[in-house]
Amino acid sequence: MHTALAPIGPYGETGVEMMSGDGVWRRCHPILAIFVGDYPEQALVTCTYNGRCSKCTVSPGQLGEYQSFPLRVQSKVLDTYLLSDGDVRAFHLVCREAGMKPIFHPFWESLPLADIFHSITPDILHQLLQGMVKHLIAWLVGIFGAAAIDTRCRALPPNHKTLPFLKGITTLSRISGHEHKKMSIILLGLVVDQPIPGGADSSRVVRAVRALMDFLFLAQYKTHTSDTISLLQDHLIQFHDNKAIFVELGVRKQFNLPKLHSLSHYASSIRLFGTTDNYNTEQSERLHIDLAKDAYRATNHKEELNQMTKWLERREKVQHYSGFISWRQQQDQDRNVPARIDVGPPHAKVLTTKMARFPSRGKVSFDALATDHGALAFQDSLAEYIAQINYPGASRGALGNLAHNTHIPFSGVPVYHKIKFTARGDLKQYEIVDCVHVRPDQKDSRGRIIPARFDTVLVRGNKGISIFDKRLNTNH
């Protein structure tokens, strides 16, 4: 770190001419403003011990309390580290009394205008998603049981913004931050009205879960105001007011967790450095997979550094060559196809219905439609539709009589289990943009039951928007 940040020292004091985004040259003074890292890295650069806060002087036994503690003062710490050039035993003794690691001249002691304790920033990935959310899920499983949680996971209907956990969430291992984020979306629905074994009241559990989830989503806002930051603190207070229920139910003994205590510093860090997406480790952690883990798996695990470097170099060359080919193909396409400029306001894409040539089931009786698909009034609706086609000018009351006298010469209809909607994309090719599933309970090859799925459909017609029920038997 001394070597990497060496240029910041002189340029931070004297300044250096740099061109800004608007093309104007200005004299800039680069300084160490923030340090982005997980908890072990934060403890490493601040020279604090594990189990302590990297920003304030809270004791390890008070990490679970919501109250303000004095912040660490870098000037006092620097006075302590000046003794490292003297007697080693005395230096170690002073560091122990100050609660700091005996580090010989940390890299930040000579940087201008730097305060390493203020520079420590919140970390959504490790502190919330892989930290408190992971703990909370374990506590809920201990209260309600794995079977109850997984049953509700399988019962949740699919949605475009949710990740379906068809096998539940308790059997998963090596859960990523993205999966924890998707679990947070449905976590409150897994515990609402869920009975606690023994008959205890679950309202405090629900309040604690909701408070922590509200804190999580508020902390990820792309913009903040004074009101949203106040709400952020209110939800954290609400969680601390209800967290004792986990101790009473026996799933937790104490809350001396550094990651829980770190949530108390979110409001001040957002006011100082801006929204949390500016310093979240989620972006940099993603590079570990592409540049480190995948590269290591491609080696024979012997002298891996040279193999990893060569593997990454080859990938970069392939990527550059692929980009060159795409650029040349685009040039050829632009020369052959005349340019077309879309003028006017933005408009929605025209969707085209795409269905299979043959139905999923060739003939399903009206009785089976009522029992398997829930379409109780399908025959009456079909008769009314036929009457409306035959007599388009008939009134509503006359249509009822005409439908009653309409004869349907068949007792079953073909059924399609899937309807796809396509739209023309940028490359003038049709892409599937949505899909509707209508499927009753089925059995797979092993005899296991596959749960039914009936999607809700919105249809825009001449009379406005019709909302078809999930089981496609009525519309409003």
326 in any annotated domain: yes
Same domain for 204 and 260, yes or no, is yes
Q: How many angstroms separate the CA atoms of 432 and 424, rounded?
A: 9
Q: Would you place residue 27 in the very low, low, confident or very high pLDDT band (cuts 50, 70, 90)?
A: very high
410 in any annotated domain: yes
Output the pLDDT for position 242: 95
**Mean pLDDT throughout 380-400?**
86
Output the pLDDT for position 472: 40
Query: What are the pLDDT digits (tens) for 402-439?
Result: 888 888 888 889 998 888 888 876 555 677 778 888 88
Output the pLDDT for position 471: 43
Output the pLDDT for position 40: 93
308 in any annotated domain: yes
Crossing angle of helices 378-390 and 396-404, in 10° steps, is 110
Same domain for 331 and 417, yes or no, is no
343 in any annotated domain: no
Residue 366's H or E segment, with its range, is helix 366-372
1 in any annotated domain: no
47 in any annotated domain: yes
Same domain for 129 and 274, yes or no, is yes
Same domain for 90 and 213, yes or no, is no
Tokens of 232: 């952020």
Same domain for 290 and 274, yes or no, is no
Residue type, 43: A
- Whether the pTM exceeds 0.85: the reply is no
Last residue of a domain, one of 228, 252, 278: 278
Most confidently modeled range among 2-16, 165-179, 217-231: 217-231
Q: Would you place residue 473 in the very low, low, confident or very high pLDDT band (cuts 50, 70, 90)?
A: very low
Same domain for 274 and 321, yes or no, is no
- What percentage of the chain reaches a pLDDT higher than 90? 47
Last residue of a domain, one of 278, 299, 314: 278
Q: Would you place residue 102 in the very low, low, confident or very high pLDDT band (cuts 50, 70, 90)?
A: very high
Q: Domain total for the chain?
A: 4
Q: Which residues, in sequence order, are CB contacts of 417 under 8 Å at separation 6+?
A: 360, 361, 437, 438, 439
Same domain for 232 and 301, yes or no, is no
346 in any annotated domain: no
Same domain for 396 and 454, yes or no, is yes
**Mean pLDDT throughout 230-253?**
95
Output the pLDDT for position 468: 53
Same domain for 317 and 364, yes or no, is no
- For 365, the domain range is 352-468
176 in any annotated domain: yes
**Mean pLDDT throughout 14-32?**
91
Same domain for 144 and 257, yes or no, is yes
Same domain for 271 and 154, yes or no, is yes
Same domain for 423 and 436, yes or no, is yes
Contact assessment for residue 196 and residue 145, using Cβ atoms and an 8 Å cutoff: no
Output the pLDDT for position 426: 57
Last residue of a domain, one of 336, 367, 402: 336
Handedness of CA 248, 254, 258, 263 (dihedral sign): positive
**Mean pLDDT throughout 98-110?**
90
